[in-house]
Homo-oligomer: A and B are copies of this chain.
Amino acid sequence: MFKRILIANRGEIAVRVIRACRELGVETVAVYSDADRAALHVREADYAVAVGPPPARESYLNIPRIIDAARRTGAEAIHPGYGFFSENAGFAQAVVDAGMVFIGPRPDAIHRMGDKVEARKLMAAAGVPVVPGSPGTLETEAEVRALVEKIGFPVMIKAAAGGGGKGMRMVEHEKDLSSAVRSVASEAQSSFGDGRFYVEKYLSSPHHIEVQVLADGHGNFTHLFERECSVQRRNQKVVEESPSPFVTPKLRKAMGEVAVRAAQAVDYLSAGTIEFLVDGDRNFYFMEMNTRIQVEHPITELVTGIDLVKAQIEIAAGGRVPFKQSELKQNGWAIECRVYAEDPEHGFVPAPGRIDTLRLPEGPGVRNDCGVYEGSEVSSFYDPMISKLVTWGRDRSEAIGRMRRALSEYMVSGTLTTNLNFHRWLMDNPRWIAGEYDTRFINQEYHPETMAAGADFEQLAGLLAAAFAASRGNHRPPQTPAANSGIQRQSVWKTLGRIDSLRR
């Protein structure tokens, strides 16, 4: 096993990897931009190295600085997390060239799966079904129009180098085509440094279902069943569950086998995910492979009992997949709600800011992977995730009940806006509760403008009294809540000041 690992990431996934390392007795090195000097992942690590100014391209995406940080701290391996360098074959190669271990697939597999157009071709050749669309990349709006005339609206325009829901636009009407092509090409260039894009048929009522795979260097290729990721806004996942209520045992078996075949086709190593689109008739098509750990990996961990990040590290150190395919079962049900600093009432736009009060859910069946702490900032430089709230239950109904309960305990206040109310709405939505939804779900069902918060007279009286007291500054925290105990809270800082004055 490694003695020390550098984590080339930030936020909750950096903390997640640090936790896995600590459980394995491995020391951790955090890297941080100037905006993250006191971020949670720095607090949790054993070592920390500054790698540059806040913009990611100058810090978290600066290859020489990251490699140098690993060298200076004696790290033997680098875990990329998700995002940033996680699917960058050049970085993976640079790590290997520096004599260190990249915790993830071999650079070649990243490269082949990273070009979405090449990946489509490769998968088709391996007998994996793919979505109808352009055989290769397109370059002009005219080419797109020509293809669309053949396959018809709706279509998805996707960056060839994209992934993770970024650099893509769905177009239903001719009038939106220009703006979508412009956006994707521009986003692809600025985000991935590669302006090429391609076009796929947008399936009528698709489910976004993915299969987790895990492979080692000893010829073991396994899958850990599916995740249902159809609850999406802005083409990005926001709630996931495992198992999928839409997947039948027969479909599960078929998708698992195809996923393993896809992983074998690129001689895959470590954890990865095959994303499929599944239509209303349960036909499934390869969409892309994510050659990294994914945001939503915890639901698979809760249902299978396997720690995927620890498995990644052990496999990178030469170990084996820690189970046989035949031993693995789906036990119970898990749901993940991604808690973001974003505003669901205004198109889910990011709404970062400072966190003044943070109250996190706990108790049975609740896992919360958090990347922030009270008093910290959700920075506009990075992904506005606050935490991933995951619940487990013996069945879907218990998992939903626990999520509803956990959401009721979760409170965030400050200059940011959160999507907690969206999740609360979802957990009470009849179609969600029935498990009858596809990727169109949020667009069809979520109408925040028609929803009133609603408060009865007693609640109103309580909140107006609190608002009144707060606006008069009557109660300045921190104060003792146990006012009746007769013990007055005294600031530790005041005490410390007094001690010091005695000393001088």
Partner of A500, one of B298, B373, B471: B471
CB neighbours (8 Å) of A38 from chain B are: 481-483
Name which of A107-115, A187-195, A271-279, A472-480 contacts chain B: A472-480
- How does the 8 Å CB contact mask read for A397-421 relative to B, with 1 for contact and 0 for none? 0100110110011000000000000
Interface check A360, CB cutoff 8 A: yes
Q: Given A409-B44, A471-B496, A471-B499, do A489 and B362 touch, yes or no (CB 8 Å)?
A: no
Contact A485 B377 (CB under 8 A): yes
Contacts of A499 in B (CB 8 A): 471
**A364 interface hit (Cβ, 8 Å):** yes
With an 8 A cutoff between CB atoms, is A316 at the interface?
no
Q: How many copies does the complex hold?
A: 2
Binary interface profile of A, 64-95, with partner B (CB < 8 Å = 1, else 0)? Answer: 00000000000000000000000000000000
Separation of A35 and B485 alpha carbons in the complex (Å): 5
Binary CB contact string for chain A from 467 to 504 against chain B (1 if under 8 A, 0 otherwise): 00011110011111111110101001110110110010
Bound complex: CA A34 to CA B486 (Å): 11
Cβ of A368 within 8 Å of any chain B Cβ, yes or no, is yes
Contacts of A367 in B (CB 8 A): 362-364, 366
Check: A149 CB closer than 8 A to any chain B CB.
no
Give A352-364 as 1s and 0s: 1 = Cβ < 8 Å from B's Cβ atoms.
Answer: 0010100110111
Q: Which of B35, B37, B398, B503 contacts A23, CB < 8 Å?
A: B398
Interface segment out of the listed A14-22, A210-218, A221-229, A443-451: A14-22
Q: How many residues of A contact B (CB 8 A)?
A: 74
Listed stretches A252-260, A284-292, A299-307; interface member = A299-307
The answer to whether B402 and A23 have CB atoms under 8 Å apart is yes
Instruction: Return A290 CB to nearest CB of chain B, in Å.
Output: 20
Chain A residues with CB under 8 Å of chain B are 15-16, 19-20, 22-25, 34-39, 44, 54, 298, 301, 305-307, 322, 331-332, 354, 356, 359-360, 362-370, 373, 375-377, 379, 394, 398, 401-402, 404-405, 408-409, 470-473, 476-485, 487, 489, 492-494, 496-497, 499-500, 503
Beyond A25-B401, A473-B500, list 7 extra A-B contacts (CB 8 Å). Answer: A23-B401, A38-B481, A356-B492, A375-B489, A472-B496, A472-B500, A476-B493
